[in-house]
Amino acid sequence: MPVKRTIMVVGGGVIGLTTAYALIQAGHSVTLVERDQDVGIQASFGNGGQLSYRYVKPLADAGIPLEALSWMFQSESPISLKLRLDWHQWRWLADFLLACNARTNRANTTRLLQLALQGQQALHQWRQEGLADFLWRQPGKLVVYRNAHKFSKAAGAVSNPQQERVLTPRECAEVEPAFAGLAPALAGGIFSPDDEVADCYLFCQALLKALQQSPEFQLVTGEATFEEGGAERCRVRIDGVPQQTDVVVLAAGLASRSMMQPLGRTLPLYGLKGYSLTVEADPAVLPDVSVTDYDNRVVYARLGRRLRVAAMVDIGALDASLDPRRIAGLKRLAEETLPAAGPYGSAATWAGMRPATPTGVPLVERTQWRNLLLNVGHGALGFTLSCGSALTIRDLVEGMTP
């Protein structure tokens, strides 16, 4: 029988909330610490809405460095890089380049796929157990390719034709008629019928509502800080006040990096800034299937009566402030690709800093401090990997010696 523990989870985004939920279900007592006045309002708030369990390839891959060089000279490139006099940025980029090879990408994709599929099973179970609605659907995901070489490479990597169907441009239009106008520009597509969509912010709210029904859970608003506690343990303070807890799980996104510095550990996290639009539209004109325009790195997902359009990776951005140029470019691309879902001029806009490791594989692990676990670095796949990561943390907690 697992030992019941008091656990403090630091961070109230989708990673921290799923972690808290898995630990409560396992019979532990959990305190969730969030510095903002609401949960899920940072990187979790306006993400693409895709639960793309079958498509979890890391950004670091063979050919990406050369492709990124070409993007640097395009005004509306999917990925932008702003170099800074920042040792951490250069170290992250160096490790990223080391991971840009086919062998490393295959190995990391396998690790992410295992985590994603484990999480998919957990999410289905949680929904069946009564988690409140968060606009979940399972329409499948279509990844369309404009470049023939990229499409050929992706099609050649398909290992399970039942789960990933290789399609012609005409078949892509049949799978999602809303994108039929794009067919002449396509080389082909890959359709994953079991992939899902949902509103990540509403998912966070549903988790919080379920957690608050447990007497073993409490939500604390405040600033958490770490310090050495002796005996290979770390100590936590909230707004300067020492806290007593058996275990600490750090799940504070990009802020986790600065939180670990007093302990002398530098986490290999960097903020990949992304953007999204949310458009109110007539459901009759919205796509049913979620679609990824691979070459432009743009995702389209219907969330109820709204369309979520998310895109871009800015490496070197300092904060999550909106860049009017990037937002304008995203609106133009959405207007060209799916004009019926507009008008995009009135769309709600969002930007967020997604905490990523150079390899794309999150840090879900023990640390040198016996009472401290990490659950950070999920990048753009936070929603997809959150439930699987939470179960991993649960298992690590239950494997701890008393």
pLDDT in tens, 158-197: 988 889 999 999 999 999 999 999 999 999 999 999 999 9
Is 353 domain-assigned? no
- Angle ∠(38,43,45) on CA atoms, nearest 5: 55
pLDDT at res. 75: 64
Is 337 domain-assigned? no
Is 307 domain-assigned? no
Q: Annotate 327-386 with three-state secondary structure.
A: HHHHHHHHHHHCHHHCCHHHCEEEEEEEEECCCCCCEEEECCCCCEEEEECEHHHHHHHH
Hey, what are 152's tokens? 């050929």
Q: Name the pTM for this structure.
A: 0.96
Q: In which band, very low, low, confident or very high, does the pLDDT at 73 lie, cut at 50, 70 and 90? A: low
Instruction: Look up the domain containing 265 and give its range.
Output: 6-135+196-271+358-398
Nearest to 143 by CA among 327, 285, 301: 301
Is 309 domain-assigned? no
Is 297 domain-assigned? no
Hey, what are 124's tokens? 């289905």
Is 304 domain-assigned? no
Nearest to 359 by CA among 334, 331, 375, 378: 378
8 Å CB contact between 172 and 142 = yes
Hey, what are 227's tokens? 């310090």
Check pLDDT > 80 for residue 141: yes
Own/partner pairs for 81-84, CB < 8 Å, 24+ apart? Answer: 81/315, 81/316, 82/314, 82/315, 82/316, 82/317, 83/316, 84/316
Instruction: Identify the weakest region by mean pLDDT among 50-59, 121-130, 218-227, 251-260.
Output: 50-59
- In angstroms, rounded to a whole number, what is the distance separating the alpha carbons of residues 16 and 4? 19
What residues have CB less than 8 Å from 230, skipping those under 6 apart? none
8 Å CB contact between 349 and 327 = yes
Q: In which band, very low, low, confident or very high, does the pLDDT at 2 lie, cut at 50, 70 and 90? A: confident
- In angstroms, rounded to a whole number, what is the distance separating the alpha carbons of residues 84 and 141? 36
Question: Which CATH number characterizes residue 11's domain?
Answer: 3.50.50.60
Check pLDDT > 90 for residue 71: no
* pLDDT average, residue stretch 227-247: 95
Is 102 domain-assigned? yes
Check pLDDT > 60 for residue 247: yes
What is the domain count for the chain?
1
* pLDDT average, residue stretch 5-33: 98
**CA 296 centroid distance within chain:** 18
pLDDT at res. 1: 54
Is 293 domain-assigned? no
pLDDT at res. 231: 84
Hey, what are 297's tokens? 């790195």
Check pLDDT > 90 for residue 336: yes
In percent, the amount of the chain with pLDDT more than 90 equals 88
Check pLDDT > 60 for residue 133: yes
In terms of residues, how long is the chain? 402
Q: In which band, very low, low, confident or very high, does the pLDDT at 386 lie, cut at 50, 70 and 90? A: very high
Inter-CA distances, 311 with 2, 12, 200, Å: 43, 24, 16
pLDDT at res. 333: 94
